[in-house]
Amino acid sequence: NAGVTQTPKFQVLKTGQSMTLQCAQDMNHEYMSWYRQDPGMGLRLIHYSVGAGITDQGEVPNGYNVSRSTTEDFPLRLLSAAPSQTSVYFCASSLGTGPGGYTFGSGTRLTVV
Amino acid sequence: GQQVMQIPQYQHVQEGEDFTTYCNSSTTLSNIQWYKQRPGGHPVFLIQLVKSGEVKKQKRLTFQFGEAKKNSSLHITATQTTDVGTYFCAVPRTSGSRLTFGEGTQLTVNP
């Protein structure tokens, strides 16, 4: 049981490049979310999903796309990277109901130059 | 969506002193969650509070949910260096989706 797996752990992009951050969970969790964390800004929700085929925008969705074709995977796509997207990205998942919270991946540290 | 204000932003204590962080909302919350993030790490779920006036304890950590379900606190008794990190409160929608985090309280403990 690996939990939430994020790849890559580190990435450097040039402005204008696109890439996909991968997130996979093996806990059969229905809910999955993407957050970005910047110094002094806490965790801000980018996109979230309550099940396969269902996604919705969070607080800061601009410049990012997501899809949820399976329960396990929730990739985050950066369409045209900008320096403002330099951040640490966390994927998280949850059963959705019941007393448990979200399980977070170890994060992807992205730098856009 | 629901928002919470968390204070203080920073707290420096001597080892053995107590520590408290507070979260406040202008709206009634269905529940509130608490997370801890060690430096360089990822957030780790600590607890969820659901009932009005609820108090839960985990060793030296005490979590409270206000009677009006608009505020919550996390209290650490006799801090240790292992308590260092940032503590976040987070509130979900009633369905459990769309978890919104407070800005966190960064705790440093001087040995």
B19: pLDDT confidence band, cut at 50, 70 and 90? very high
Percent of chain A with pLDDT over 90: 89
Residue B1 has a pLDDT of 54
Is the confidence at residue A14, as pLDDT, over 60?
Answer: yes
Q: Which of B88, B96, B100 sits opposite A97 (nearest CB)?
A: B96
Residue of A nearest to B50 (CA): A99
Q: Does A57 touch chain B (CB under 8 A)?
A: no
Interface size between A and B, measured as CB pairs under 8 A: 66
Angle at B88 between CA B87 and CA B91, to 5 degrees: 155
How distant is the Cα of A107 from the closest Cα of chain B, in angstroms? Answer: 7
Rounded Cα distance, A81 and A85, in Å: 7
How distant is the Cα of A4 from the closest Cα of chain B, in angstroms? Answer: 11
> Is residue B92 a contact partner of residue B25, using CB atoms and an 8 Å limit?
no
Residue B98 has a pLDDT of 85
Is the confidence at residue B91, as pLDDT, over 70?
Answer: yes
> Is residue A19 a contact partner of residue A81, using CB atoms and an 8 Å limit?
yes
**Phi and psi, residue B96, nearest 5°:** 95, -10
Within 13 A of A59's CA, how many CA atoms are on the CB side?
Answer: 16
Percent of chain B with pLDDT over 90: 88
Which residues of chain B lie closer than 8 angstroms to A99, CB-CB? Answer: 48, 50
Q: Does A104 touch chain B (CB under 8 A)?
A: yes
Interval B25-37 mean pLDDT: 94
A24: pLDDT confidence band, cut at 50, 70 and 90? very high
Closest CA to A2 of A29, A20, A36, A38: A29
Interval A39-43 mean pLDDT: 83
Residue B36 has a pLDDT of 98
Q: Which of A96, A101, A106 sits opposite B33 (nearest CB)?
A: A101
A53-76 residue pLDDT tens: 999 999 999 999 999 999 999 999
